[in-house]
Amino acid sequence: MKTTVQIAAELQGYDPHALPAETVSAFLDQLVEPLASAEGVGLLDALGRVLSEDVLSPISVPPHDNSAMDGFALRGADLGAGWPLRLRVAGTALAGAAWRGRLAPGECVKIMTGALMPDGLDTVVPQELTQTVGDTVIVPADAVRPGDNCRKLGEDLRAGQPALRRGQIVTPAALGLLASLGLASVPVVRRLRVAYFSTGDEILSLGQPPREGAVYDSNRYTVFGLLTRLGVEVIDLGVVRDDPAALQTAFVAAAAQADAIITSGGVGVGEADHTRAMMHELGDIVFWRIAMRPGRPMAVGRIARPCGGRDDGGQTSHAILFGLPGNPVAVMVTFLAFVRPALLRMMGARPQLPVLVCAISEEHLRKKPGRTEYQRGIVTPRIDGRLTVRTTGNQGSGVLSSMVRANGLIVLGHEQGNVAPGDEVRVMMFEGVI
């Protein structure tokens, strides 16, 4: 296993005092590893979980040729034998029951959607395109071509083929697919366990009376929401005061029961040296100043797991630490930009790209080259279908209400400069994440 120093040595231009956002992502890709242990869960408990192996289809889908329409099943070879085509209706094929009759030349079968195609028939003409006179159906010229509206056996999946791949997150659509295969359970990676706590003597917990210079802890609740949306097991360790002994106790407790630890506050350049020294004693930690706005300070590394720590399969000898800044918006931005992708990797998920859309800026955006900026934005569709975006106004990293008003982050790249009204920008959308 590489140390943080070894990982950093492989990254071109690595500078912990001015680290580009792209380098942070590359570092974390090397630092974190997927969980090794798996379990089987029932289908209703699988939503949001990550598949630990390929799921092979036990059956072909569809399991037989069937009709995609209510209409009339006929031989494709009969089409074109003089228009309009007149066929005698010899019977009716219903969904869930095979029609076992035999057809003479010039005959067809009335058929319902999903019904098995009778032997020798390969085409369905929709009912609304025909005329019926007694027991005769009249098919107009060019209503269908041979093979139309017939679902073929195995055209979706063949028995033995992978239906879902290892590393896929089970979505509602995937649940339906698994159920359609008759599967009652699936193999998934065990849930990632993430412990988190806030730090600072100025932090108030809910229920405590206000006091001068103190603020209520919002970070624990935003982090809880972000982690819950991600589908991990959340371990809330509360608020820890700015005391090396208290912090050490909290880190040891977190590492004993979690795969990853998230803290907010206490990683800025002005923090006491003894706090950093204590963290170095507990593990392999690096402290960064990232070339980004908001959210410059960040600590990342491994915290050693104490002897006797929880180990119920797949547990490593350490927990991954993500020490985030203390300002509320900076916490959320650094989580979205760096922590969430890293946690997904630990969960065994395939690389998940953020949902980026292109939008036209409605205003002038000031931006200095040499850092990545994430400005809170409000994306709106125009009447022509294109998207526009404007900022929420004050971009201070403590303005938490702006994250409520925004529906995405305007991502301005490291080398990018000012943006003029009418310029196109990229926006990382919040839907389904925040």
| Two structure tokens written together for 310 | 């929880």
- Region for 57 from its dihedrals, namely left if φ exceeds 0, alpha if ψ lies in -120 to 50, beta otherwise: beta
Q: What is the pLDDT of residue 336?
A: 96
Closest by CA position to 431, among listed 350, 336, 331 = 336
Q: 102 vs 109, 132, 293, CA distance in Å?
A: 10, 21, 74
Which pLDDT score is estimated for 254?
95
314 pLDDT band (50/70/90 cuts)? low
| pLDDT, tens only, 323-346 | 999 899 999 999 999 999 999 999
Query: In which region does residue 158 sit, left (phi positive, over 0), alpha (psi from -120 to 50) or beta (all else)?
Result: beta
Higher pLDDT, 100 or 276: 100
pLDDT grade, residue 398 (50/70/90)?
Answer: confident
Arithmetic mean of pLDDT, 113-137:
95
For residues 72-98, give the mean pLDDT. 89
Average pLDDT of span 177-186: 95
Q: How confident is the model at residue 197 (pLDDT cuts 50, 70, 90)?
A: very high
Give the model confidence (pLDDT) of 239-262 as tens digits.
Answer: 998 888 888 999 999 999 999 999
Domains of the chain in start order, with CATH, are 4-37+190-346 (3.40.980.10), 40-61+155-188 (3.90.105.10), 66-151 (2.170.190.11), 356-429 (2.40.340.10)
What distance in Å separates the CA atoms of residue 408 and residue 426, rounded to the nearest whole number?
10
How many whole angstroms separate alpha carbon 429 and alpha carbon 410?
Answer: 9
- pLDDT tens for each residue of 129-141: 999 999 999 999 8
Judged by average pLDDT, the poorest of 108-117, 150-159, 206-215 is 206-215
What's the average model confidence in pLDDT over 41-54? 96
| Look-up of token digits 């010229």 | 141
Tokens of 138: 């009249």
Taking residues 230-238, report their average pLDDT: 95
Confidence at residue 226, expressed as pLDDT on a 0 to 100 scale: 96
Instruction: Please check the confidence at residue 391 and state whether its pLDDT lies above 90.
Output: yes
Pairing mode, strands 233-240 and 193-199? parallel
- Confidence class for position 309, pLDDT limits 50, 70, 90: low
Look at the alpha carbons of 35, 319, 22, 217 in this order and tell me if their dihedral is positive or negative: positive
Is the bond leading into 297 cis (omega within 30 degrees of zero)?
no
pLDDT for residue 310 is more than 60: no
273 pLDDT band (50/70/90 cuts)?
low
pTM: 0.89
> Closest Cα partner for 218 from 232, 234, 205, 227?
205
Q: What is the DSSP string of 242-274?
A: S-HHHHHHHHHHHHHH-SEEEEESS-STTS-HH
**Could you report the per-residue pLDDT of 416-426, keeping only the tens digit for each?**
999 999 999 99
Average pLDDT over residues 277-287: 87
Location of structure tokens 């159906």: 137
Percent residues over pLDDT 70 in the chain = 95
Nearby residues of 336 by Cβ (< 8 Å), 6 or more positions away:
226, 354, 374, 409, 428, 433, 434
What is the C-alpha separation between 199 and 205, in angstroms, rounded? 11
Order of strands across the sheet that contains 107-111: 123-126, 71-74, 107-111, 85-93, 136-139, 131-133
Q: How does pLDDT run across 51-71, given as a tens digit for each residue? A: 999 999 999 999 999 999 999
| pLDDT of residue 311 exceeding 70 | no
Q: What pLDDT, on the 0 to 100 scale, is given for residue 201? A: 83
